[in-house]
A and B are shown apart, each in its own frame.
Chain A
Amino acid sequence: MNAQPDAGGSAVTRRDFSGALLGAASAAYAASLALPVCRYLAAGSEAGGPEVRQVVLPKAAVQVAPGSVLYFTLGHEPGLLIHHSDDTWSAFGAYCSHLRCTVLYQPESDRFFCPCHEGVFDPRSGQNLAGPPAHPLERLDVAVNGEDLLISRIG
């Protein structure tokens, strides 16, 4: 069917209109399919459960010589407990704040080091000292409760 241009001169034909309508309907159809697929794929991310705030390590099981570290699990993430040479303790999240490689303790230089991109952290404060990390390691609180060590997230 031929279209009749309106007085303003803009010619939206019935064919154009149907085409646009079909396009919009197709987009809506695709979106209605994409939504359940996205929710399906995201389901794993929601299955993480509530954040774990504290971990209890029996002192008897914590055999950490001065100048060495123990890795433990805090929820899904690794944490590390360091026994300093002056007999004090500190604990941190073990993920490098840059791109989440797990840091290691180098007793000869008394520092945490990330082998991936060579980030360096202070072993007492967790402060980022060199390399790409822009933030310190996550600091954890260490408390003694009878025969247990309580390690908890701060804040």
Chain B
Amino acid sequence: MPGHVLHWVDERTGLDRLRAAMRHKLVPVHRHSRWYYCGGLALLFLLVQFLTGILLTVYYRPGPQAHASVQRIVQDIPSGRWVHSVHVLAADGMIACLLLHLASTFFMRAYRRPRELTWLCGLALLAVTLTAGFSGYLLPLNERSYAATQVGLRLLAEVPAAGRPLADALLGGAEMSEETVHRFFALHTLILPNLMILLVLVHLALVQAHGLSTPPGQASPPGGHGRFLAYWPDFARRETLVWVTALSLLLVAAAFYTPDLGAPADPLKPTPLGIRPEWYFMPAFQMLRLLGRWLPGAGSEVVGMVAFGMAALGGVLVPFLDGGSDRPRRARMIRWLGVAFLAVATLLAGWGYLSSLAQVN
């Protein structure tokens, strides 16, 4: 852009101040630096979700035609299968990046003072993203998504206080119906994306305000002898390369991947054998199955709800339980709890896939 035009824009927008702030922003360089790309990648996948989501709404019809309209997108609309696959894969990519970002933030203890709110905002973003995954799952209205939504709404209704009214508001009737699909469509395409934009802006503003955290023991704080990279243009250049690579991989993968659309939902058909949720809900799903096996009856439901509540509460409390540099033992204990949580979740997910396969065979 010619200099005088840039000057004209700067004078009216203050963009030069933003550029100056970016030039002063430093990215710590250490052996775990590569994890810093996860948050940005999640943002990239979110942008892809927005774009492909808008494209899908052109042909998608919530209501009784839901399944047929997705089938039409996939089978009849030129490039429809690709757009749909990009949307589905980017959702998986976004959640995977968010989970990696969360894990790296946890293990690098980047949630420590004064970044507690950044951590909480990130957790809220994860919760909203998982809700977006859950609500998007119903939209093609196939057998699997019908059963998954029944289960999800029933679990939501068990949450004390707000659970029941919220589940009723989402259900929109005595039973699951096209009304439910309309409500999930509104949630998925209007409410959650706007909430995400808001949370991303707050999250980025907080990151900007506090800068990137350096893991303890990896480098000296600013002013010391630690190594840093200027965000603009050095880190931005590398991040652009990572984005272009990830985007290209996503677009190519989508060309070879066809999500299984499944049979249309039919309330008069039994839930199909081998049913399983998306991979990110698998640990919770398998936990409910195992609890039912070990603690038949009402006990399993109570223990399951308490376990979900404890996991959520634990996540929220992490920055406040970490005693900082004064209490290394406590920080070590939290780290081992995190390792145990990850190990159990991975084990449950693997077990869940095997159990679902065993049902079919």
Contact = CB atoms under 8 A, between A and B. Distances in A.
B173 A44 contact: yes
Name the residue among A38, A94, A102, A119 with the largest chain B CB count within 10 angstroms.
A102
Contacts of B355: 118
Nearest to A52: B174
Interface string B91-117: 000000000000000000000000000
Contacts of A134: 297-298, 301
B285 to A, nearest CB: 8
Interface stretch (A9-17, A25-33, A125-133, A139-147): A125-133
A117 B359 contact: no
Contact of B147 (A75, A76, A94, A102): A102
B169 A42 contact: yes
Chain B residues touching A, range: 35 or more
Contacts of B154: 99-100
B150 A119 contact: no
A76 B173 contact: yes
Contacts of B171: 44-45
B291 interface: yes
Contacts of A103: 270-271
Contacts of B359: 115
A133 B274 contact: no
A44 B270 contact: no
Interface string A82-99: 000000000000100011
Chain A residues touching B, range: 35 or more
Given A115-B359, A117-B289, A132-B288, A104 B270 contact: yes
B177 to A, nearest CB: 8
Contacts of B239: none
Interface in B167-220: 168-169, 171-175, 177, 179, 183
B275 interface: yes
A48 interface: yes
Q: Helix, strand, loop or mixed for chain B's interface?
A: helix
Name the residue among A38, A99, A105, A128 with the largest chain B CB count within 10 angstroms.
A99
A114 interface: yes
B147 A116 contact: yes
Nearest to A70: B268
B151 interface: yes
Contact of B293 (A99, A101, A131): A131
A134 B173 CA distance: 25
A131 B296 contact: yes
Contacts of B297: 128, 132-134
A67 B302 CA distance: 35
Contacts of A131: 289, 292-293, 296
A47 interface: yes
Contacts of B31: none
A78 interface: yes
A102 B269 contact: yes
Contacts of A98: 292, 301
A103 B275 CA distance: 12
A98 B154 CA distance: 9
Nearest to B271: A101
Contacts of B168: 42, 45
A47 B151 contact: no
B151 A118 contact: no
B269 A115 contact: no
B147 A78 contact: no
A102 B169 contact: no
A98 B355 CA distance: 19
A101 B292 contact: no
B161 to A, nearest CB: 14
A105 B285 CA distance: 22
Interface of B: 147, 150-151, 154-155, 165, 168-169, 171-175, 177, 179, 183, 267-275, 285, 288-289, 291-293, 296-298, 300-301, 355, 359
27 contacts: A42-B168, A44-B172, A44-B183, A45-B172, A45-B173, A73-B267, A76-B173, A77-B175, A78-B267, A94-B270, A99-B150, A99-B154, A100-B151, A100-B154, A101-B151, A101-B275, A102-B269, A102-B271, A115-B270, A115-B271, A115-B273, A118-B289, A118-B292, A118-B355, A132-B291, A132-B292, A132-B301
Given A100-B154, A101-B275, A116-B151, 13 more contacts: A38-B165, A73-B267, A76-B175, A77-B175, A94-B270, A99-B155, A103-B271, A115-B270, A116-B275, A130-B296, A132-B292, A132-B297, A133-B297
By Cβ-Cβ distance, the 8 closest A-B pairs, closest first, are A132-B292, A48-B174, A104-B270, A44-B172, A76-B175, A134-B298, A101-B271, A71-B268
